[in-house]
Structure 1
């Protein structure tokens, strides 16, 4: 089936000269113009450093973006994630036509509305109501079309009391509420949202994310979403891209993208790219097939293999094992340690009340948490113990790790430790 592409970015690059406007000197400007009139390539495209803010660099030119290529289908919600300085905001400004790319082109299949910074597109001297009409006109809507939506916009924003007050007197939170409501309700085909939603309170962030899901699902509109809130990205987006130093380093399903971003410090591990949520102990595989032990671990959250776990969801750890003989009463246990190496939880099938009856000398044991209760957003490392009442078959320190992303709906307190044993189970598959 043919894809319905609504946005296509081809070879997008953006170059800046540090500390200067334009190329900085008349000689550089003339040189660039002379190459242009002769049909030659811009001479300054061949120079410039990668956008790594932590290094001094050797050139006055820097590439904020380099050779960005991607496509977005109609109705898709694309997450764009990366560290500060990766080029996310520069990319969105180019997509919103706030600035032009140095090289490359963008093809659009509809109107674009952007929410990039607090106050972007609003006139501070005009009232909230007047700014709604102004933004609608910029999007090409008639006064009648805007009027049919204005009551919904005001209600959603929660700014009704101040809607006829100049927006220069609004707080940053009120600004964002009204700006998002305008962008979402005035029916653009493409909605671009930067980290600006973080200014709003938790209630409004959840409301805004719900609205973006609705307009994508029901209205068939496309959303490009940038955020450092990985729980929001994971719950909202269907696909994502990871940016680093002005380049796209990975593109794929949102679970893979978030796992890669959270699990990488400075380098992108090829194994994690291929199999997030899968940990292989194959270096000892031959020994373990002979003597017994844990062969690999797979992690699932809500049925999807991943090592980015959401609080309050169903989580499963699958332990593939081998043993040279059948044991009468095998024991599988884990210890979960925080990022400082301090143990915060130990659990095995004895304290869950599960009696393991080994079916074969090879198989899978599943540890299930129907409601995952860890609530602190951080990286956790896990030790594994596999044995029986008399023998230690296999112990692996820091065997695997996972990240916890607090659910968007965490109003009900979720106990971290006390009831962990009683609502989890350990069973043979």
Structure 2
């Protein structure tokens, strides 16, 4: 059966010159033009570093994207994931025709609507109603076509009271609501959405995800969706592109792509930071598996060690808690210890706490530890941070007996706390 391809990216690359607006100097632009009219290759095409923001530049040029190739079928939701700086937004800007690629081409059939940043395509001095008609006109729709969708757009956005107010007075959340409603209801064949939905509240995000599902499954339109919310990607996308340093790492079925992306993370079983001399500080955290390294036996002991530095003696009401999050960021295990139950960390200097699961029965996979340190009496939060991103390779694995509860952090496994203050 022949595929119905609605969008195709062929050998897309994007080069920028560091520290410059545009592609570089006038001399470089003239040099490019002179080579182009003579049918020669761009003289700067072989220059440039890869898109790795963590390394020092060795060239004036950098490749934000390199050799991107993929196809999107009509009615498909394609996810795009990657770390900050991987090239996701640059790719969407090229697909939306906001900027042109240095090399390669985009082929598409139908109208494209983009939601890239808060307020993109909106004129601040115009009202919400006027901006709806403006965006519709940009998409090539007639005034009559836009008017037929007007009531649906306003109702979905939830901005009825402010629809005749200039959008410069809207909050970022209101702007996103209206912009998404315009993009979704004016029926473009291809809808491109960046991380912008993260600005909206939970209720609107749920509505937006439901609408995107309707757009692709019910209406047969195509969605390209960039997000750091892997749960939303797994819910919406049928296939997902994984980007790293401006290159495609994988284009796979979504769950497999998420696993590939998670495996790219740096897994550290050890975390350390300097003490704050004015308040209690978790200065060390370490994960200890039953078999060492990332190897964990099924229903074998699993320990988390904490080192807490106290600024003075006899501080009371301290509380330490942790969560273990899965690769989607969903909390699946947690526990805590309060000073009101057992005297902990009342000695100035280093104090040690550890928690051990006697028979851990997690799935094989990638996890992150979230740590929270607070004082309960005055509700003072000292620290809250993610650390120790770790992967578990299980041996003698069986189906966990406790049952899977997705997106619910209410499961306890039996475990015990120890410290240098009590046995």
Report the TM-score, using the length of structure 1 for normalisation: 0.67
The secondary structure found in structure 2 opposite 1:32 is: helix
Map of 2:359 onto structure 1: 346
1:356-387: CA deviations, max 9, x gaps? Answer: xxxxxxxxxxx99xxxxx9989967668686x
Map of 2:162 onto structure 1: 162
The 1:384–1:146 alpha-carbon spacing in structure 2 relative to 1, beyond 3 Å, is: closer
Q: Contact conserved, 2:9 with 2:68, CA < 8 A, in 1?
A: yes
1:96-126: CA deviations, max 9, x gaps? Answer: 0000001100001110000000010000000
Kindly state the Cα deviation for residue 415 of structure 1 after the two structures are TM-superposed.
Answer: 2.0
Task: Find out whether 1:30 has 2:30 as its counterpart.
Answer: yes
The secondary structure found in structure 2 opposite 1:101 is: coil
Give the distance between the partners of 1:37 and 1:222, measured in 2 at CA. 37
The 1:49–1:189 alpha-carbon spacing in structure 2 relative to 1, beyond 3 Å, is: same
Map of 1:73 onto structure 2: 73
Give the distance between the partners of 1:231 and 1:86, measured in 2 at CA. 19
- 2:412 aligned residue (412, 417, 426): 417
1:100-158: CA deviations, max 9, x gaps? Answer: 00110000111000000001000000000110011111111111111111111111111
Task: Name the Cα RMSD after superposition.
Answer: 3.4
Q: Contact conserved, 1:341 with 1:381, CA < 8 A, in 2?
A: no
Kindly state the Cα deviation for residue 346 of structure 1 after the two structures are TM-superposed.
Answer: 3.1
Give the distance between the partners of 1:201 and 1:345, measured in 2 at CA. 40
The 1:342–1:240 alpha-carbon spacing in structure 2 relative to 1, beyond 3 Å, is: farther
Q: Contact conserved, 1:375 with 1:416, CA < 8 A, in 2?
A: no
The 1:11–1:256 alpha-carbon spacing in structure 2 relative to 1, beyond 3 Å, is: same
Q: Provide structure 2 residue ranges, at least 5 long, that are not aligned to the other structure.
A: 268-290, 292-296, 299-325, 333-352, 371-385, 399-403, 416-423
- Give runs of aligned pairs for residues 3-402 of structure 1, distance below 5 A: 3-265=3-265, 308=327, 342-344=355-357, 346=359
The secondary structure found in structure 1 opposite 2:85 is: coil
1:229-267: CA deviations, max 9, x gaps? Answer: 011111111100100010001110000011111222259
Give the distance between the partners of 2:107 and 2:14, measured in 1 at CA. 17
Q: Provide structure 1 residue ranges, at least 5 long, that are not aligned to the other structure.
A: 268-280, 282-292, 295-306, 314-339, 349-366, 369-373, 387-395, 400-404, 421-429
The 1:266–1:66 alpha-carbon spacing in structure 2 relative to 1, beyond 3 Å, is: farther
Kindly state the Cα deviation for residue 83 of structure 1 after the two structures are TM-superposed.
Answer: 0.2
Map of 2:272 onto structure 1: none
The 1:24–1:205 alpha-carbon spacing in structure 2 relative to 1, beyond 3 Å, is: same
Q: Contact conserved, 1:112 with 1:190, CA < 8 A, in 2?
A: yes
Q: Contact conserved, 2:357 with 2:414, CA < 8 A, in 1?
A: no
Give the distance between the partners of 1:87 and 1:239, measured in 2 at CA. 18
Give the distance between the partners of 2:21 and 2:82, measured in 1 at CA. 27
The 1:80–1:61 alpha-carbon spacing in structure 2 relative to 1, beyond 3 Å, is: same
Give the distance between the partners of 1:200 and 1:29, measured in 2 at CA. 41
Kindly state the Cα deviation for residue 40 of structure 1 after the two structures are TM-superposed.
Answer: 0.5
Report the TM-score, using the length of structure 2 for normalisation: 0.68
Q: Which moved more, 1:132-141 or 1:13-22?
A: 13-22
Q: Contact conserved, 2:357 with 2:413, CA < 8 A, in 1?
A: no
The 1:50–1:406 alpha-carbon spacing in structure 2 relative to 1, beyond 3 Å, is: farther
Give the distance between the partners of 2:171 and 2:239, measured in 1 at CA. 33
The secondary structure found in structure 2 opposite 1:43 is: coil
Q: Contact conserved, 2:230 with 2:328, CA < 8 A, in 1?
A: no
Give the distance between the partners of 1:153 and 1:375, measured in 2 at CA. 41
Q: Contact conserved, 1:311 with 1:406, CA < 8 A, in 2?
A: no
Q: Contact conserved, 1:167 with 1:175, CA < 8 A, in 2?
A: yes
